[in-house]
Structure 1
Amino acid sequence: VKYVSPTCGPCGILSPILSRVVEEYTGKIHFVEIDIVADPEIAQMGKVSGTPTVQFFRDQELLQEVKGVQPKSKYRQLIEQYLPATV
Structure 2
Amino acid sequence: MISEIQWLSEFEAELAKPGLAVLDFYSPHCGPCHVIAPLYNRIAESHSTIRFYKVNGLDEEGSQVQQKAAVTWWPTLVVYRDGQEIWRDRVPNPPSSKPLESLEEFLKTILLPSPYG
Same fold judged by TM-score > 0.5?
A: yes
Cross-structure match for 2:29: 7
Identity of aligned residues (%): 21
Residue type matched to 1:83 in 2? L
Q: RMSD of aligned C-alpha atoms?
A: 1.7
CA distance in 2, matches of 1:9, 1:64: 23
Deviation at 1:83, TM superposition (A): 2.7
Q: Which has the higher contact order (CA 8 A, sep 6+)?
A: 1
Structure 1's consecutive aligned runs of 4 or more residues displaced over 6 angstroms after TM superposition are none
1:66 alignment counterpart = 89
Where do residues 1-87 of structure 1 align in structure 2 (5 Å cutoff)?
1-26=23-48, 28-38=49-59, 39-68=62-91, 69-71=96-98, 72-83=100-111, 85=113
Secondary structure of 2:52's counterpart equals: coil
Larger Rg: 2
TM-score, normalisation: structure 2: 0.67
**AA at the equivalent of 1:32:** Y
Q: Quick one: structure 1 residues 46 and 64, their matched pair in 2 at CA, closer, same or farther if it must change by over 3 Å? A: same
Distance 1:61 1:70 in 2: 25
Q: TM-score, normalised by structure 1?
A: 0.88
Residues matched between the structures, number? 86
Deviation at 1:6, TM superposition (A): 1.8
